[in-house]
């Protein structure tokens, strides 16, 4: 800023400060007006939304700590979230097996429900996200038609019940239950899933970073705080627990108004911080290869969708919206790759939205990224509205075509043997 340089040069008087402030204010106003004029010349061509599922039952309860009742009533489906839908594989065939969901259903929480199930609260959260997208892309900007059409909207989910149901609820909110056809929700078999870091489907990812999950709890500052909170909650030292598990149970309780130990409430800020510290260590964003293996194929898919649209070679020329129902463990590495991770855990129903825009006259393509409904400036981009070429260059270090991803996943020579 000029005002800062004026002070460095010994010119930081009130008169000079006022002069420079007025000049900067004028330039900022002019720049905003220019951007507004430019944006009016931009036509929306494609929207892609990555969104986390809604509130759910915990994956695990904190052991021996004030158990609460996770009763079936918490999973009641609101009538306004009902739509006619079918779950298929990526080619439209039968839904693949879901070993992750099977693992949840091998256990029952106190109260009678399974771990990781979308609750009524979570269903409403996704319905509300759908309504927000409706306000933006149907009411404010006449981009989508007012009822669901599979030619216009593509819906993909991880093959887990909570993400599938979240996708359904979002579509219900977006189109207010109006549909021209059945809503297909596409899923992939577990070994080929790219909508989250796939430690089971990618040998190299598991060998390079799988151990970092356990290692993250042993980092000195985290280990010290973990021992202190275990002592405060009366959890035996030999009991396996970490900040991510504690946070998961704590947030699930809070979201549903269920009892939380007072000792845990007083530790809330530390639990949040240490859980994020753990996940930051696990994903290791300073190492490009780790993020590539975590979300590279997903980012490549989203980039390819935009590239096909710009070049007019999309296999579905009428497609305007891609919806991806994913997890917090998807959003965080994506945010890291985008350079906008704020060191906060993404809340339930959090979304990353990518808009592809085209200048009406020059036909130049641009990308705008939003997180939690707020526009973001991506490092490497000259502005919030980023020329597609700049965005592609900024993301080139992290995108990874699926065939190259699989080739790298299977190359594990010289690495420790599979445990």
The enclosing domain of 175 has a CATH number of: 3.40.50.1240
190 within a domain of the structure (yes/no): yes
Contact 253, 260 (CB under 8 A): yes
320 within a domain of the structure (yes/no): yes
Q: Which residues pair with 52 in a beta bridge?
A: 326
pLDDT tens-digit readout, 338-364: 999 999 999 999 999 999 999 999 999
Please state the separation of Cα 389 from the chain's center in Å. Answer: 23
- Kindly report the pTM of this predicted structure: 0.90
180 within a domain of the structure (yes/no): yes
In this predicted structure, what is the pLDDT of residue 414? 54
40 within a domain of the structure (yes/no): no
pLDDT tens-digit readout, 150-181: 999 999 999 999 999 999 999 999 999 999 99
Residues serving a catalytic function are 53, 328
Ranking 75-89, 144-158, 256-270, 295-309 by mean pLDDT, the lowest is 256-270
416 within a domain of the structure (yes/no): no
70 within a domain of the structure (yes/no): yes
Non-local CB neighbours of 172 within 8 Å, separated by 6+ positions = 80, 81, 82, 83, 127, 130
| 310 against 287, higher pLDDT | 310
Total domain count, the chain: 1
Strand 365-371 and strand 321-326: pairing?
unpaired
187 within a domain of the structure (yes/no): yes
Nearest to 321 by CA among 118, 73, 44: 44
Which of the 8 DSSP states describes residue 79? Answer: G
Ranking 19-33, 206-220, 378-392 by mean pLDDT, the lowest is 19-33
52 torsion bin: left (phi>0), alpha (psi -120 to 50), beta (else): beta
For 101-105, what is the mean pLDDT? 96
Query: pLDDT band at 391, cuts 50/70/90?
Result: very high
Q: Distance between CA 364 and CA 372 in Å, rounded?
A: 27
Domain range for 187: 45-209+285-297+309-407
For 312-337, what is the mean pLDDT? 97
Strand 365-371 and strand 351-359: pairing?
antiparallel
């Amino acid at each position: 800023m000029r005002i800062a340089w004026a002070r460095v040069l010994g010119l930081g008087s009130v008169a000079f400060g006022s002069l420079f402030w007025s000049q900067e204010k004028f330039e900022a106003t002019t720049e905003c007006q220019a951007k507004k004029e430019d944006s009016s010349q931009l036509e929306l061509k494609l929207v892609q939304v990555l969104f986390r599922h809604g509130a759910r039952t915990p994956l695990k309860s904190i052991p021996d700590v004030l158990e609460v009742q996770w009763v079936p009533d918490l999973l009641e489906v609101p009538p306004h979230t009902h739509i006619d839908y079918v779950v298929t594989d990526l080619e439209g065939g039968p839904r693949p097996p879901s070993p992750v969901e099977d693992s949840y259903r091998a256990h029952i929480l106190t109260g009678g429900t399974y771990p990781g199930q979308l609750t009524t609260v979570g269903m409403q959260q996704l319905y509300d996200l759908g309504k927000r997208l409706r306000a933006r892309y149907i009411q404010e900007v006449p981009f989508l038609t007012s009822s669901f059409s599979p030619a216009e909207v593509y819906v993909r989910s991880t093959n887990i019940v909570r993400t599938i149901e979240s996708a359904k609820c979002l579509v219900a909110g977006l189109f207010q239950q109006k549909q021209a056809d059945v809503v297909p929700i596409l899923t992939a078999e577990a070994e080929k899933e790219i909508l989250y870091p796939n430690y089971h489907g990618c040998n190299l990812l598991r060998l390079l970073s799988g151990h970092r999950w356990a290692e993250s709890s042993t980092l000195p500052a985290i280990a010290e705080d973990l021992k202190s909170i275990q002592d405060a909650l009366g959890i035996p030292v030999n009991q396996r627990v970490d900040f991510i598990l504690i946070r998961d149970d704590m947030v699930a309780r809070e979201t549903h108004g269920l009892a939380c130990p007072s000792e845990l409430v007083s530790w809330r800020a530390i639990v949040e911080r240490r859980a994020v510290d753990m996940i930051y260590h696990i994903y290791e964003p300073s190492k490009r290869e780790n993020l590539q293996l975590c979300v590279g194929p997903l980012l490549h898919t989203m980039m390819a969708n935009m590239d096909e649209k710009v070049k007019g070679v999309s296999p579905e020329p009428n497609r305007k919206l891609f919806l991806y129902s994913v997890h917090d463990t998807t959003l965080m590495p994506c945010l890291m790759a985008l350079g906008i991770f704020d060191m906060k855990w993404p809340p339930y129903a959090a979304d990353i939205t990518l808009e592809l825009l085209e200048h009406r006259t020059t036909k130049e393509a641009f990308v705008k990224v939003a997180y939690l409904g707020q526009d973001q400036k991506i490092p490497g981009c000259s502005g919030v509205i980023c020329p597609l070429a700049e965005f592609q260059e900024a993301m080139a270090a992290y995108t990874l075509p699926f065939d190259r991803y699989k080739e790298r996943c299977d190359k594990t020579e010289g690495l420790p043997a599979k445990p």
